[in-house]
Structure 1
Amino acid sequence: MSFALEVKSEVLAHEFDENLSKCFLAGFIKYNGDLIFSNNKEKLRLTSNSNKIARSIFKLCKQNFSGLINIGISQAKNSNKVTTYYIILEGQISVFLQSLNVVDKNQIKIVEFIFDFKKLSKDLVKNLKRAYIAGVFVAIGSVNSPNTTNYHLELQFKDLASAKYWVVLLKDFNFEFKVLKRSEKLYISYIKKSLLVSDFLKLIDAYQCVMEFENARISREFHNNINRTNNVDVYNNKKALVVGLKQVDQISKIQSKIASSQLSIKAQALMELRIENPDASYSELTNKMIEKGFIITKSGISNLFKIIHKLSEEL
C-alpha cells in the first residue's frame, strides 16, 4: 500500500457525524464525481482504485443519499491490471448534489465551500472545513512516501478556479500552497516543505501517518547529520595532515642546519612531538605538551609554530 493510500484510508477510518459526512462528501464528489446518463436516467459515478476507500465512500453515501447505490468493478487489460471500483448513485441526483452545495440550481459546479454557517460556532465551522479539505484530498490528492528524499504533497485540479480557491481556503489554516499549470486541463496545487506536509496530515486527522512520516524524516535527518559530521571530520583530518607535513618539513630544515638551539626548550619539545605525530591537531598537541609538563594553550602552540616557520624561512 502506498503512503498516500495509507493516509486516505486512515482519514476514512474516522467516524463522521451527519454534518461532517456531508462536508467530506461535498469535497470528494466535487472533484471525483461524474454525471452520466443511462436509460434516460441521470446517475452519479464515483471511482477509486482502492477497495477500502470505495467501501468507505459507499458507507458515507448510504448515510446521506436515499436513492439506489450500486458498486461495480473493472480491471484494466494492460500489464498493470489496475482494478477500478465504481459507486453508481441513481435517484434524485440533482437534489442530492444541491444539498451538498456541489452544484447550484442551474447544475453549475460551485467552486467555493458553501454551507449555512451562521448558527454554528467558529470551532464547528473549522471542523467542517477540515472535513471538506479531507474529502478533496481523498478525491484528488497524493503525497510522497516519507522514505523518499523528496517531500511533496499535491492535488490535481481540472480548472484554475478550483486550484486558486484551494490556495485561498488553505490560507485560513496557515498553508501556502502553490499552483502549477501542467496542461490545459490540469493544474497542480502543491507544498514541498516537510513540516508543511506533516501539518497538513494533522489537519486531515491522519495522525498515525504523521507519526510514520515524522519518524522517517527524523531518522533521515539524523543519518544526514552523521554523514555531514563525518565529512567535516575527514576534511579536518586531511587539513591537519597537510599542515603537519608542512611543519615537519620546516622542522627537518632546522634540524639539518643544527639550529634547534636557537629555539626555546618548549619549541624544541613541540618539534619532537610534531615529528612523532604529523597528523595531530593543535588540540591534541596541546594535550601532549601538557603531559610532558609544559603549560601551554592551543594559541600558544600556534605561536610556537609561527616562530618555527620564521626560523626555517631565515635558514
Structure 2
Amino acid sequence: MSFAKIVKEELSQLNTTNEEQLAELSAMFDLASELSISNHEQTLWFKSNNPTVSRRFLTMLKRQYKIENTLLTKKQGNFKKGYQIALGVKESLEQIKFEHGIFNEDDQSDLLTQSPETKLGYLRGAFLTSGSVNDPKTAEYHLEIYGDNSDVILKIQQLMNLFDLNAKITKRRKGFIVYLKDASNIEDFLRLIGASDTVFEYEDIRIKRDFNNSINRILNCEIANEKKTIVAANQQIKDIELILKYRVPLNEKLQQVVDLRLQNPDASLNELIENFEATYQETITKSGLNHRFKKLSEIALGLKEGNES
C-alpha cells in the first residue's frame, strides 16, 4: 500500500461533526462530481478510484441528507488506472446542489467553511478525493491536490495558507495542482486534517533519512579532505626529494619542515603543527607552515625548469 493510501485510510476512520462532514463533502463535490441528465432526470455522480474514500463519501452523504434508497453504483474499467467507482445521487438532489453550489448561480458553499474546523474539513475532503503525498523514504518531499477547476484549486490554496503552509499552484496536464514541498509544512498539513498517527511515521522516516544523509555528507567531506591531504603530502614529498637530490642548501626553518614531512608522510597540516610544536618547542600557525611548504615548492619548480632548459 502506498504512503498516500495509508494516510487516506487513517483519515477515513475519523469521527467528525456534522459541520465538518458537510465541508468535507463540499470538497468532494467540487473535485470529483458531475451532473448527468437522462430521460429528463438528473443524477449527480461522485467518482473515485479509492474504495475507502467512496465508502466515506457514501456514509457522510447518507448521514447528512437522510438518503434511504440505494444509491446507483457502477465500475468503469481503465487499463492504466484500474477501476473507478461511481456513486450516483438522485434523492435530495436540489438541496445538495443548493448547499454545495453545484451548477447554482446562488452559490452558498462558502457558508460551509466559516470556522477553522470546517476549513480543515474541506481540506481533508480535498486530499481524500484527489490528493497524494510522496513516501518520505523517497528523495523528494511533495504533497499535492489535483483539480481541473482553477477556482477550486485557488480556494484550496487560500485555505492552506490560512494555516501558514506556503502552498503553491502550478499547471498540470489538463488541470492544476496545489502543492507543498517543505517537509515540515507537509507534516503540519497532515496533522491539521487529522492524520496524526501517520505524521509520527512520516516524521520518524524523515528524521532517519535526513540523519543518514547528514552522516553521508560528513563522511564524503572527510573522505574528500583526506584525499586532498594525501595529494598535498605526496606533492610535498616529491618536492623535498628533488631538493635533496640536488643538495640544495636550506635555512633552518625550511629544514625543520623537510624533516617533519619526511617523518610524517601521511599527516595533515594540523597533525604536522602538533608534531612541530612537540619537536621544536615553539608554536607555528597553519599559514606559517603553508608558507614554508610553498617556498619548498618554488625551489623544486626552479630546479625542474632549470633541468628542462
TM-score tier (shorter):
0.7 to 0.9
Q: CA deviation at 1:234?
A: 2.4
* Corresponding residue of 2:112: 115
Q: CA deviation at 1:281?
A: 0.6
**Preserved CA contact (<8 Å) 2:112 2:118:** no
* Counterpart check, 1:127 vs 2:131: no
Deviations 1:168-189 (A, max 9, x none): 3322122333222335x51222
**Preserved CA contact (<8 Å) 2:136 2:202:** yes
CA distance in 1, matches of 2:192, 2:48: 23
Deviations 1:23-54 (A, max 9, x none): 11111122222223345432222222222222
CA distance in 2, matches of 1:311, 1:165: 72
* Corresponding residue of 1:302: 290
Give 4+ residue runs of structure 1 displaced > 6 Å after superposition. Answer: none
TM-score (ref. length: structure 2): 0.83
CA distance in 2, matches of 1:81, 1:156: 16
* Corresponding residue of 2:264: 277
Structure 2, unmatched stretches of 5+, are 304-309
CA distance in 1, matches of 2:154, 2:17: 29
Q: CA deviation at 1:127?
A: 1.0
* Corresponding residue of 2:307: none
Q: CA deviation at 1:65?
A: 1.6
Higher helix share: 2
Structure 1, unmatched stretches of 5+, are 118-124
Identity %: 27
* Corresponding residue of 1:48: 48
Secondary structure of the equivalent of 1:232? helix
* Corresponding residue of 1:70: 71
Deviations 1:97-127 (A, max 9, x none): 323x333xx634849632385xxxxxxx111
Q: CA deviation at 1:61?
A: 1.4
TM-score (ref. length: structure 1): 0.82
CA distance in 2, matches of 1:110, 1:148: 41
**Preserved CA contact (<8 Å) 2:143 2:186:** yes
**Preserved CA contact (<8 Å) 2:25 2:60:** yes
**Preserved CA contact (<8 Å) 1:69 1:88:** no
CA distance in 2, matches of 1:229, 1:57: 49
Q: CA deviation at 1:155?
A: 1.9
Q: CA deviation at 1:193?
A: 2.4
Closer/same/farther in 2, CA of residues 109 and 46 from structure 1, 3 Å limit: farther
CA distance in 1, matches of 2:81, 2:269: 65
* Counterpart check, 1:179 vs 2:173: no
